[in-house]
Amino acid sequence: MKIEDYIKSLPSDIISGNDVQLPERALTKIFEFLNLNENDVFYHLGCGDGKGIKIALQKFHVKKQ
């Protein structure tokens, strides 16, 4: 998938900068696009509900810092 197509598939609130909660499916797709794996370190910047950390650790087995 081209990045332009991916951006078009995102909810309009994300593009506009409004606060939104991404569904787990969207986070998983983003991490798949990035090819996250056990060799990557995942940094959490302290925003959101922690869903991203859970998915990155459980599904993609990233290292945490």
Residues 6+ apart with CB under 8 A from 39: 63
Q: What is the pLDDT of residue 10?
A: 82
Q: What single-letter amino acid sits at 54?
A: K
- Confirm if 53 and 64 have CB atoms less than 8 A apart: yes
Rounded Cα distance between 24 and 32, Å, is 12
pLDDT tens readout for residues 44-54: 887 778 888 89
pLDDT tens readout for residues 52-61: 889 999 999 9
